[in-house]
Amino acid sequence: MCYAVRMIKNTSPILKALRVAAMDETAAVEFLETYRWGSAPACPTCGDANVYKMTSADGSRNRDYRWRCRGCKLMFTVRTGTIFEETRLPLRVWVYAFWKACSSKKGISALQLARAVEITHKSALFVLRRIRHGLSHDGAKLTGTIEADETYLGGRPRRFRGHMHKHKTGRGTHKVPLVGVVQRGGDVRFRVMDRVTSDRLSEVLAENADQRADSSPTSGPVRRVGKAFQGGHEAVNQGWGEYVRRGSDVHSNTIESVFGLLKRGINGTFHSISRKHLPNYLNEFEFRWNTRKMDDGQRVARAIRQVEGKRLEYRESVGQPAVSGTGHGAASGTPRGTAGTYPQVHVVIERIDLDSTSHAADQHVDAVLQFDLEERADACVEDAGVGAGVDQCLNSRSLPSVADAQSGRQPRESTWNRCRGMLDAASCRAA
């Protein structure tokens, strides 16, 4: 007796079309047109639905797969008004990148994408950075039962000449603070913070959660910010070993699961993420969590519709984003230019730079300068009191390691960037 074993389950029709679109340019264009416009294509400039495909003399589509609007008389393609507008890469590369970014539980690295579609690492970064930007979404406020908690992203400080930075976990660490707010059975919101305080956490909760919801945050400053919720507020203290309130549904396991996926993705896929680009990566993890109940095909189709109307130019992606913006940007309650903030630290570095001679880089001066600034940054935190400016503390110290260096050469730019990071961390701790 023979038994027929079914090895393949019923797959999504979107996934079948995805496999073809990832290998053929014409199929990729038709796939994007179908799941961006559906059966009613419209002009992205004026919104008129009276459009038609431009064809050649033999009836086939032209080389650029253009459309034309009978209303405004302008030409457009499926690329117009999206993150891949004016890109020189084939659309099949973008379709494959969408597929892997949406279906991989912990994301796909730029190096992996570059190997898979045979493009350069720079081009892969270009594609993934714009996909993450397009996945950003300002949804409705969270309702029901809300969980909130903070976590810290980053690795241990590096050892330099036997000198090890003091490493602290939790609040007060050098790592990047991140606050997460999740609705049980619903969506999640992330926010990168400068400092984790009750006032700033209250602002994050007010922006992302409905005041009629039930709040169930964890220990720390989050415990003191949920009293404004009409549905009630409960807290668990994980420092005392309380993870679930006995006989109730008071816990924070949902937000801990979100943080677990985020950290496993960073450690296993991306390995290291700078604070500058962290909000872009959070868009990706937030999108995958919010669409976790969809299959891969539905998730890709939603991502394609979500990137419409969004552009990310090169100068925006490589420039320093604003710190006090909305979305995933850092929340800060201290106005720029006050004591202990970034502009004063940059002024100190520029002043040091002007006193140095402009010659070729020298590794010995780099090492001496880095060690000296590490010592100064640690001393700065000890000397600066509440409200004291880091600029004043740093001005009280000289740079004998630079002034007395025999070579008298200016350190290379990478060393200045490392020093800026150390002084920025010192300013945050002293503020």
Matching residue, tokens 């394609």: 304
Domain contains 109:
no
For the cut 70, the answer to whether the pLDDT of residue 160 exceeds it is no
Of residues 415 and 227, the one with the higher pLDDT is 227
Predicted local confidence at residue 3, as pLDDT: 59
Predicted local confidence at residue 159, as pLDDT: 63
**Which residues face 268 on adjacent strands?**
none
Q: Supply the angle between the helices 296-306 and 91-103 in degrees, to the nearest 10.
A: 120
Domain contains 191:
yes
For the cut 90, the answer to whether the pLDDT of residue 259 exceeds it is yes
Predicted local confidence at residue 408, as pLDDT: 47
pTM above 0.75, yes or no: no
Predicted local confidence at residue 252, as pLDDT: 85
Domain contains 126:
no
Please check whether residues 280 and 402 belong to one and the same domain: no
Chain segment 311-325, per-residue pLDDT in tens: 887 777 776 543 333
Neighbours of 309 (CB within 10 A): 10
For the cut 80, the answer to whether the pLDDT of residue 135 exceeds it is yes
Residue 157's pLDDT band, with cuts at 50, 70 and 90, is low
User: Which tokens in the block code for residue 356?
Assistant: 């140095």
Q: Nearest Cα to 393, choosing from 359, 351, 344?
A: 344
Predicted local confidence at residue 242, as pLDDT: 74
Q: Which domain holds residue 285?
A: 145-156+167-294+308-318
Domain contains 200:
yes
For the cut 60, the answer to whether the pLDDT of residue 251 exceeds it is yes
Residue 165's pLDDT band, with cuts at 50, 70 and 90, is low
User: Which tokens in the block code for residue 170?
Assistant: 């939790």
Please check whether residues 180 and 267 belong to one and the same domain: yes
User: Which tokens in the block code for residue 233?
Assistant: 């507020």
Domain contains 119:
no
Residue 246 exposed, middle or buried by CB count within 10 Å (0-12, 13-18, 19+): exposed
Domain contains 99:
no
Please check whether residues 279 and 150 belong to one and the same domain: yes
The chain-wide mean pLDDT, for the chain, equals 74
Helix (H, G, I), strand (E, B) or coil at 346: helix
Predicted local confidence at residue 73, as pLDDT: 92
Query: For the range 168-172, what are the long-range contacts, defined as Cβ-Cβ under 8 Å and sequence gap of 24 or more?
Result: 170/220, 171/196, 171/220, 171/221, 172/429
Instruction: Say how many domains are in the chain.
Output: 3
Contact 425, 174 (CB under 8 A): yes
Domain contains 337:
no
**CA distances from residue 252 to 189, 198, 238, 248 in whole angstroms, order as listed:** 15, 18, 10, 12
Share of the chain above pLDDT 70, in %: 63
Chain segment 11-64, per-residue pLDDT in tens: 788 999 999 999 999 999 999 999 999 889 999 999 899 999 999 888 888 888
**CA distances from residue 234 to 101, 151, 156, 377 in whole angstroms, order as listed:** 36, 19, 33, 39
Chain segment 189-247, per-residue pLDDT in tens: 999 988 888 888 888 888 888 877 666 655 555 556 666 676 777 777 777 777 787 77
Q: Nearest Cα to 249, choosing from 208, 214, 213, 288?
A: 214
Matching residue, tokens 């998730």: 299
Please check whether residues 187 and 313 belong to one and the same domain: yes
- Read off the CATH number of the domain in which 246 is found: 3.30.420.10
Contact 270, 281 (CB under 8 A): yes
Contact 374, 422 (CB under 8 A): yes
